[in-house]
Structure 1
Amino acid sequence: MAKIKAFKALRPKNTLVEKVAALPYDVMNYEEAKEMVKGNPYSFLHIDRAEIDLEENINPYDPKVYEQAKNNLNNFIDKKIFIREDKSSIYIYRQIMNGKIQTGIVCCTAIDDYINGIIKKHEFTREDKEKDRINHVDTCNANTGPIFLTYKKNIGISNIVELETKKSPIYNFNTEDKITHIIWIIEDEKVIEKLINLFEDVDSLYIADGHHRAEAAVKVGINRRKENKNYKDEEFNYFLSVLYPDEELKIFDYNRVVKDLNGLNLDQFLNLVSKDFEIEKLVDNESFKPNERHTFGMYLENSWYKLKAKKGTFNNKDVVESLDVSILQNNLLSPILGISDPRKDSRIDFVGGIRGLSALIKRVNEDMKIAFSMYPTTIEELMKIADEGKVMPPKSTWFEPKIRSGIFIHTLD
């Protein structure tokens, strides 16, 4: 049974929400973040990426960065850019991208559910990124970015969402990426209680995106429990989340680009690839986006190829080994191109499918040698892996649209 909780949110006043709402801190680099805030003193990136307000070349993990984030947050509160709810509420957050709708429930979830495995993960986390978010949450005394969770669709929850979204929203705005964001507030205690009870019948919640934020929030909560031996139901026992039904989510492909052929020439490389993949060179240099599992596009020396994994190259009964990202990694990237650890190898980079195949061609023309277009991982695969307590290879999923940060903040006291 999953536990959710209403909370007294800090949120932007209506006239500023469009300027405050920002993409998650980890989908851009320093230069991109700096560019995004030009002419916009209200952007939440001043809190989520506070190094943009400090001297150039400062270490993003410097304590000054977290203090600046705290100061900026307090400044937003003092200037009434953020308002605090008078009563604990739950919210409904709808995003519309290219006509596709996904609607989630904004609430707090319990760190005990994470500890006990009711909130399930599918990725390893990196210690340096964990420490960054731990310091950020602890110093700001708040969850500033929601965890993106999914659950198997529940008709009772869907019925409440349908009824509540017939009411007038508190926010309705468009962002620069042409995505519509609509938010409703649920203040009725009886409706909130119904939602809480319905989620008690949900066996598992799954992290779709935000593993580092989740791990950090839990560790901050555990540390505060140590400092408060007689803790009960304080806010630090919960973290900010958005919960979406699985049927509404779309995972995009997460493509790969590599700097070189590991010392091989074209013929040598293709000969090695042909041992585990059927290779078809495409006519008229037509771009190839895979439309079925176990097929891959490959762009090399101004030509596109279609690759198809041969039988026997993977264990189809193993949910992790049969992922396309695993097949490519285990049969090509590692043995042929020498990329044994894609988390750490600087020769490989990853490009979200939302950018299109043109982004792969651009990277190969600029700073890479070869690109691979992927068939996207499915929500069903993600859930099965999490249910089995396994983890996906790095960069297996890319979700769109991204949940905007700064629309809701959950303070820890």
Structure 2
Amino acid sequence: MAKIVPFKAVRPARDKVSIVTSRSYDEYSPAELASQLDYNPFSFLHVLNPAYVNLQKISTDTRLKAVNLKYNEFKESEVLKTEKQPIFFLYEIQSKGNSYTGIIAGTSIEDYRNNVIKKHEDTLSYRVDYFKEYLSKTGFNTEPVLITYPEKKEITEWIVKKKKEHPLYLFSSLNKDRHILWRIKDSEEIAWVQEQFEAIDSLYIADGHHRSASANMLHEQESGTGNENLNYFMSFLIAETDLKIYEYNRIIRDLNKVTKEQFINALSNDFTIENKHQELWKPKNKFSFGMYLDGEFYALHLKETNFSSSYEALDAKILYDKVLRPMLGIIDLRNDERIEYIPGSKPITDIKKMVDEGKFEVGFMLCPPTINDIKELADNNLIMPPKSTYIEPKFRSGLVIYEL
């Protein structure tokens, strides 16, 4: 039984929403970031990155306090406004030909601990610690955890009906995405939505494992303070049929001191290899891998496909076990500087270009996991290898803010 709650959100003034909200801070190149901060005084990036010119010269504690000050400045000048009562939101993102619609709500720390909210990724302790400090010192979060649930007819029909109403916001962002936000403030409607989720046995984290772990850690640290908001964290709840799951492709800087011929010959022990020459080939089926090496694309088809568990049968795990670790000497997928990751939402010509320019020697393209792969692992308390999934939609910073 999943528990969701409305919350008293902070959001941009209606006339400024298109210029306040931003993509995730990490998605901006240095030049894009400088442009936004130099020419748009209303951008939420000013909150996320105050005094950006001196960012490397100040301590983390000083920076987080500056974030809090800038955030309150935005509230005092009414760039940001606080809702009068706890509510839900319905949010639609139209991006690159895809449409995603979900509910923005508070989800329960207790459900997270009791595995009603299930996980499929491991977390890094330093990142969890940092974001816990971020939440504690800034007092807010604007990046919800992306949570998916099994499609439910009643919720789907309600969403279709709700989207016919006049929205609070309707705007386009500079990357040509379209954003629509509706408020759900009627108490009976809120109670109905809560009842629908109470009938759902399990929710699944699609993206935001570090954020949810940080909220849990903060709750442990500050429980007993009487702050009810600490009992929940903001989530964007979307039906599993609406998720777009991409793979993370791998690019490697060298062949670990072997020649191309030796490498391909070693691959032939476990894979059937097809030379695709200049065809931009990408796998469409499990147990197949694309490879770009020395100006040519190859299709690698795994010969033996019987595995003892769903975890061992993951393509990312297979590539690691058969190629990356034994042949290329890459042990630590998170920290080895010889490997980098390209989300499957990017064209494979990006991989080709990086290899052709000599920055990397070989690239591997994978088939994305399915939602059933993710759920099966989560249901069995198993963890995917690092960088196994890149999941859309991505939430817009500064659109809806959860205060602690």
| In structure 1, C-alpha distance between the alignment counterparts of 2:157 and 2:327, rounded to whole Å | 52
- 1:9-408 matches, within 5 Å, as 9-28=9-28, 33-48=33-48, 50=49, 53-58=52-57, 62-226=60-224, 228=225, 231=226, 234-283=228-277, 285-312=278-305, 315=307, 317-366=308-357, 367-408=359-400
The 3 A distance-change label for structure 1 pair 247 and 182 is same
SS, match of residue 16 in structure 1: helix
Superposed displacement of residue 219, structure 1? 1.1
In 2, distance between residues paired with 1:130 and 1:39?
A: 33
Distance 2:210 2:33 in 1: 19
Aligned mates of 1:36, 1:355 — CA distance in 2: 23
* Conserved? CA contact 2:146–2:206, under 8 Å: yes
SS class of match (2:322): helix
In the TM superposition, residue 28 of structure 1 has moved relative to its aligned partner by: 5.0
Contact between 1:2 and 1:200, CA under 8 Å: does it hold in 2?
Answer: yes
**Structure 1: distance between partners of 2:323 and 2:108:** 41
How far is the alpha carbon of 1:112 from its aligned partner? 0.8
Counterpart-to-counterpart distance in 2, 1:338 and 1:247: 38
Q: Name the aligned partner's letter for residue 114 of structure 2.
A: N
Report sequence identity in percent. Answer: 35
- For the residue of structure 2 that corresponds to 1:292, the secondary structure is coil
Deviation at 1:52, TM superposition (A): 6.0
TM-score normalized with structure 1 length: 0.93
Shift, 1:31, TM fit: 6.3
1:385 positional shift: 0.8
Normalized against structure 2, the TM-score is what? 0.95
Residue deviations 1:156-199, cap 9 Å, x none?
Answer: 22222122111001111112222211111111100000011111
Distance 2:28 2:149 in 1: 28
**Aligned equivalents of 2:46, 2:388: Cα separation in 1:** 29
Which deviates more from structure 2 when the two are superposed, residues 73-82 or residues 13-22? Answer: 13-22
Distance in 1 between residues matched to 2:191 and 2:397, nearest whole Å: 26
Distance 1:144 1:347, change over 3 A: same
CA contact (8 A) 2:287 2:315 kept: yes
CA-atom RMSD, angstroms? Answer: 1.8
Letter in 1 for 2:391: F
Offset, 1:30? 5.8
What's the CA shift for 1:101?
1.5
- Give the superposition deviation at 1:26: 4.3
Q: Quick one: distance in 2 between partners of 1:142 and 1:235? A: 10
Q: Distance in 1 between matches of 2:282 and 2:250?
A: 13
- The amino acid across from 2:293 in the alignment is L
CA distance in 2, matches of 1:209, 1:73: 25
- How far residue 218 of structure 1 moved from its aligned partner, in angstroms, is 1.4
1:340 Cα deviation after fit: 1.2
Counterpart contact for 1:342–1:394, Cα < 8 Å? yes
Q: CA offsets, 1:344-380, max 9 Å, x none?
A: 1111000111221111112213411111111111111
SS of 1:288 mapped into structure 2? coil
SS in 1 for 2:39: coil
Could you list the per-position Cα deviations for residues 239-292 of structure 1 after superposition, in whole angstroms to 9, with x for gaps in the alignment?
A: 111000001111112111111001111111111111111111113x11111111
Partners of 1:31 and 1:73 lie apart in 2 by: 23
The offset of 1:144, in angstroms, is: 2.2
Note if contact 1:146-1:405 (Cα within 8 Å) is conserved in structure 2. Answer: no
SS at match of 1:183: strand
Distance in 2 (alpha carbons) for counterparts of 1:388 and 1:265: 41
Q: Which runs of 5+ in 1 are unaligned?
A: none
Structure 1 residues 183-217: Cα deviation after superposition (integer angstroms, max 9, x where no partner):
11111100000011111111111111111111111
Deviations 1:296-345 (A, max 9, x none): 11111111111111115x61x41111111111111001110111111111
CA distance in 1: counterparts of 2:400 and 2:267, whole angstroms: 48
CA distance in 2: counterparts of 1:266 and 1:93, whole angstroms: 49
Farther-moved stretch of structure 1 (217-226 vs 350-359): 217-226
Report the secondary structure of 2:14's partner residue.
Answer: coil
The DSSP-based 3-state class of the residue aligned with 2:256 is coil
Distance (Å, rounded) in 2 between the aligned partners of 1:310 and 1:148:
36
Query: Which whole-Å CA distance do the structure 2 matches of 1:56 and 1:410 have between them?
Result: 25
TM-aligned CA distance change 1:144 to 1:278, over 3 Å? same
The whole-number CA distance in structure 2 between the counterparts of 1:254 and 1:36 is: 28
Aligned equivalents of 1:334, 1:34: Cα separation in 2:
39
